[in-house]
Chain A
Amino acid sequence: MQDSNSIGIVSPQSTHFDAPLHLKSGAVIDSYELVYETYGELNAARSNAVLICHALSGNHHVAGFYDENPKSGGWWNNMIGAGKSIDTEKFFVIGVNNLGGCHGSTGPASINPRTGKSYGPDFPVVTVEDWVKTQARLADHLGIDQFAAIAGGSLGGMQAMQWTLDFPERVRHALVIAAAAKLTAQNIAFNDVARQAIITDPDYHGGDYYTHAVVPRRGLRLARMLGHITYLSDDAMAAKFGRELRNGALAFGFDVEFEIESYLRYQGDKFADQFDANTYLLMTKALDYFDPAHQHNNDLSAAFRAATASYLVLSFTTDWRFSPERSRAIVKALLDNELNVSYAEITSSHGHDSFLMEDRHYHKLVRAYMDNIVT
């Protein structure tokens, strides 16, 4: 742990919820478990809580370390900690693994109490709205009536936005980073190719691969490789890998030759070892379905009419999966409703992944915004 401003060793907690959860799809989950982590102290007024919502492949381990291994760091460790942009000396920060996840919260790999077997393909499709509902129940459990802020990047930013629509009285600030108010057709297309890679893997077994003691590794690996390409920018890839060859010369075969191939295969393998394919399917569906304007005649401004929060919207210049244009559409809707909003377009070469990267200007902006939040 070289990170001197880290909050050090953390450990996850877990809570069981018994009240049935009615999902947007109409399905009902009788009971479920949510795993979460907290950092910092909840103040006496309970007014300094910050919820961090995770993106497609994230989880509740947002900051700190599990042990001395530097690789056990949380996924937003560069942003959250003592004296960092989201300062755990000031805020009580909560990270939660979403329902349907594969890191401890109830998901497709969990045992369905009705059948005694893994949910597998029977796990219902969950939406951003459903997640917000479960997160609100977790807030109830933790005694938090109102969050000082809810923050997230990408799919996490969608949850932060949804919170301000569904529970306007329960969130004062929303940090919506590298997000969009809905996916484009191109974005849905990428997600479907990823899903098809998984579903057509012979080891998928209609989603019931747990009972066959296999995992659709090849499909999940391909899904991740495709995703990874879209999270980086052309320039970043060129700068990092160019046309470098691993062994210095062409081999005239189909094994790994270019560095980019090696990198993508490594990323795919790593991911396939630690992520559940059914969860991947669910998360991509939640992305595809998110569209708060839909029930308002596709008028995003109308969707935000009930909102009262203040917003920080951030985008990154080379993010083509959730481009600055998508963020500007959110800003427009907020302006139309005369809500407090600040928007910055951050120059970065890292594409969509920029929101996870260390960047001085980006982190200073978040820090300045968070410092002005009254707790």
Chain B
Amino acid sequence: MPSQQPVIEPRSFSLEARPDFAAIAAWVKPGAKVLDLGCGDGSLLYFLRNSRDIRGYGVEIDDSNVLACFNNGVNVIQSDLESGLQSFESDSFDYVVLSQTLQAVKHTEGIVKEMLRVSKEAIVSFPNFGYWKNRFQVMLGHMPVSETLPYQWFDTPNIHNCTLGDFEQFCCQHGARILERRIMSRSRQVTFLPNLFGMLAFYRFERQK
């Protein structure tokens, strides 16, 4: 009897389809060792493996996401990243990635501290709360609902939103030295007034020496 499992189509991501993946991949050196925190279905690791030949692990808590990682053939460790990264030795990765998850974690300080412990460099992406459409909605008296913040205030997982300015201040106060940043509006890079026109922010940083 043939397997009842649907055949898993090999994934392909075009740079246009996932500009956020492409932005992260541009910073990752080929062959690097990568830890992806809150890795979801493992798409980013899959993409980095194919485009950058990385070795990597994902950390994910949700059952259905863990199963999706298994289906994608991506190494995943089911665990709650809020409770720390005890399974990982200090300085054991080249990059630790927190892709569009920073704004949804409870223990932001603890997690960033752990990221800087286990990895030489950290890459973080998050929706910029300072994006003009968000500011405009707040000005009109409402919590913003936008492309990058698609949730209503009462059911949003995003409990720690911040602007570019907030994040840079945070890094400064928490021993993180910013190496590079890239601000995007959809697939376009934003250089003019990024805290106003940027939708998604990417930062690469390391432990302050």
Q: Is the interface of B mostly helix, strand, loop or mixed?
A: loop
B173, CB-defined interface residue at 8 Å = no
Q: Which residue of B lies closest to A82 (CB)?
A: B1
List the B residue with the shortest CB-CB distance to A310.
B75
Residue B55 at the A interface, CB < 8 A? yes
* Shortest distance between the CB of A335 and any CB in chain B (Å): 6
Chain B residues numbered 51-90 whose CB sits less than 8 Å from any CB in chain A: 55, 57, 63, 66-67, 69-71, 73-79, 86-89
Query: Which of A134-142, A269-277, A343-351 is near enough to bind chain B?
Result: A343-351
Q: Which of A43-51, A97-105, A115-123, A360-368 contacts B (4 or more CB under 8 A)?
A: A360-368
- Bitwise interface map of B from 1 to 16 toward A, beta carbon under 8 Å scored 1, else 0: 1111100100000000
* A371 and B3 form a contact (CB under 8 A): yes
Main secondary structure of the interface of A (DSSP, over half): mixed
Q: A332-B87, A367-B5 are in contact. Are A341 and B75 (CB under 8 A)?
A: yes
Point out the residue from A338, A341, A345, A371 that lies within 8 Å of B5, measured CB to CB: A371
Q: What is the CA–CA distance of A367 and B73 in the complex, to the nearest angstrom? A: 12
Nearest Cβ in chain B — how far from A326, in angstroms?
13
Number of contacts between A and B (CB, 8 Å)? Answer: 68
- Residue of B with least CB distance to A81: B1
Give min CB distance, A282 to chain B, whole Å: 34
B33 on the A face (CB < 8 A): yes
Q: Which of B5, B88, B92 has the most CB of A within 10 A?
A: B5
Whether A331 lies near B77 (C-beta < 8 A) is yes
Chain A contact-residue range equals: 20 to 34
Interface size on B, residues (CB 8 A): 27
CA distance A44 to B192 in the complex (A): 63
Contacts of B87 in A (CB 8 A): 328, 331-332, 335
Which of A5, A342, A344, A364 has a CB less than 8 Å from the CB of B1?
Answer: A5
Stretch at the interface among A33-41, A83-91, A196-204: A83-91
Which residues in B have their C-beta under 8 angstroms from that of A371? 3, 5, 8, 71
Known interface pairs A90-B3, A372-B73; A338-B55 also in contact (CB < 8 Å): yes
| Interface residues, chain A, with chain B CB atoms under 8 Å away | 5, 82-83, 87, 89-90, 328, 331-332, 335-336, 338, 340-345, 347, 361, 364-365, 367-369, 371-372
Give the A-binding residues of B (Cβ under 8 A).
1-5, 8, 33, 55, 57, 63, 66-67, 69-71, 73-79, 86-89, 92
15 A–B contacts, CB within 8 A, in A order = A89-B3, A90-B3, A335-B57, A335-B77, A335-B89, A335-B92, A336-B92, A342-B69, A343-B79, A344-B63, A344-B78, A345-B79, A368-B67, A368-B70, A372-B71
